[in-house]
Amino acid sequence: MKYLAADFGSTYTKLTAIDAAAGRVLATANAFTTIDTDVMRGFDKALESLKAKVRDFEYDELLCCSSAGGGLKMVALGLVPELTSKAARMAAANAGAKVVKTYAYEISAEEQREIYEINPDIVLLCGGTDGGNKDTVIANAGLLGEIKRGFAVIYAGNKSAARDVEAILCDAGKNFVITKNVMPVFNQLDIEPAQNAIRELFIKNIVAAKGLSNAQAKSAREIIPTPLAVLRACELLALGTPKTSGMGDFIAVDLGGATTDVYSLSKGEASLDNVLVKGLPEPYCKRTVEGDLGMRYSLAHVAEQTDIDRMAAQINVSAREIKDWVARCSQTPDIISAAGSKERAIDEAFARRAIELALTRHCGVLEKAYTPLGEIFTLTGKDLSRAQYLIGIGGIIINSALPQYMLEGGCHTPQNRAFMLPREPLYMQDKKYIFSAMGLLSEVDPELALNIMKQEIRQL
């Protein structure tokens, strides 16, 4: 049995050829994604170069995932920022969406216009526990109905308001799905039904809308969003199969041109004594996506959040040179820095910074409080300080000579001690960029996918 996994990315279409009998990856190849004409053109071109590496390669089954056309663009609406808004964002991110923005409370006219501008594929509408607040979700359903865009709405809020929301969205002529509340009881999450609804809508509507119908016609299995495939691979690698054990808890970071994804596979239980856990419970397998952290399209945003003078001193280039490079990258996002050049050094320093920012936003925060009983700590989010592995996926991490230097940005330092970042992880990388392919393969042959990952994900 031979499989071909295709990942239609926003820039590249990546192919991975897998031989089940030999239990390994035969080769990988890529070509530019051709979403504007026919995605299969780019696919065929990549297949050609794959066949140049593996002669007479024929596949028995094609597996596809996609983040082409901007990925699965979503906005999430909730009531209280720390509660249902956060839960909605978590549900969308864990379904593999690019969550462009999260809103809380009744949205304003300004925010309505913003959603119009974002033009999302799906809007996830949440708010209120079951039997709790109804007014906000009902108002927001009406306000979403006024936005003249073709997005679909998934309602996963207070069940007691579902009937009203349904009537409003129906009148507004919106395509919508009603599913279970993401927070049925205060501080208890149930995000799976919303995730399933997102996946089903993606398959039903978005695949065709993003010009992927031709790819879907060739594959017997459903096309899923790429981050969802990566998430499935992560889950398999951590937990293993009933027959083979996984590698246990880890963190993976995928640093792309426009966004940075962080995956943590850990319960994130507090590692210190005398810690009070606060805030929403988080899933074992958690994904966050940072739309403002990336090495090309969003490099300017990373630069904004960086002390450029300090960075210049550290890597021995001038601040002027750093700023010029940021400007060039923003203008021509397909620019690549040459190995060993000053520009590469700048890229690596920014990658380190982007990883630091993405991980501090992903992990839990420890706060100190003084009580009459003495000092006490509160933990909000996951404690990842004991994570055993930190895996780098994608882009600059696998193309640079200094992957460990960049990944170390995501680790605990005395300056960021409030964040529960890994302290002494083993650094690993996905050199061939196979995570998404293995996520797809895990649906067909999990044993094979796990074994290949164990071979290919190597320690630095």
**Among residues 217 and 373, whose Cβ is nearest to other proteins?**
373
* Residue 273 in the binding site for other proteins (CB under 8 A): no
- Total number of residues that touch other proteins (CB under 8 A): 23
**Considering only residues 378, 388, 399, 416, which one is a binding residue for other proteins as defined by CB under 8 A?**
378
Q: Does 280 participate in binding other proteins (rule CB under 8 A)?
A: no
Strand positions, DSSP E, 159-293: 176-178, 224-225, 250-255, 260-265, 275-278, 285-290
Under the binding rule (CB under 8 A), the answer on residue 79 touching other proteins is yes
Closest approach, Cβ 194 to other proteins, in A, equals 17
CB 78 within 8 A of CB 127: yes
Q: How many helices (H) and strands (E) does the chain have?
A: 17, 19
Q: Which is nearer to other proteins, 82 or 304 (CB)?
A: 82
CA 5 to chain centre: 19
Nearest CB to other proteins, comparing residues 138 and 346:
138
Task: Note whether 84 binds other proteins by CB under 8 A.
Answer: yes
Nearest in space to 449 (alpha carbons), one of 256, 270, 244: 244
Across the beta sheet with 374-380, the strand order is: 275-278, 374-380, 365-371
Dump the DSSP string for 120-162.
-SEEEE--S-TTS--HHHHHHHHHHHHS-S--EEEE-S-GGGH
Asked if 276 touches other proteins (CB under 8 A), the answer is: yes
Tell me which of 220, 373, 401, 459 binds other proteins, using CB under 8 A.
Answer: 373
Q: Assess 376 for contact with other proteins (CB under 8 A).
A: yes
Structural contact between residues 183 and 190, judged by C-beta atoms closer than 8 angstroms: yes
Least distance to other proteins, CB of residue 362, Å: 22
Please tell me whether residue 372 binds other proteins under the rule CB under 8 A: yes
Nearest CB to other proteins, comparing residues 94 and 158: 158
| DSSP run (H or E) holding 297 | none
Please measure the distance between the N-terminal and C-terminal CA atoms of the chain and give it in whole angstroms. 32
Is 83 near other proteins (CB under 8 A)? yes
Q: How far, in Å, are 7, 25, 153, 210, 218 from residue 71 at the CA level?
A: 12, 26, 17, 9, 20
Amino acid at 327: A
Closest approach of other proteins to the CB of residue 240, in Å: 35
Q: Which stretch binds other proteins (CB under 8 A): 113-121, 213-221, 373-381, 398-406?
A: 373-381
Residues that bind other proteins (CB under 8 A): 79-80, 82-84, 127-129, 131-134, 183, 186, 276, 278, 369-373, 376, 378
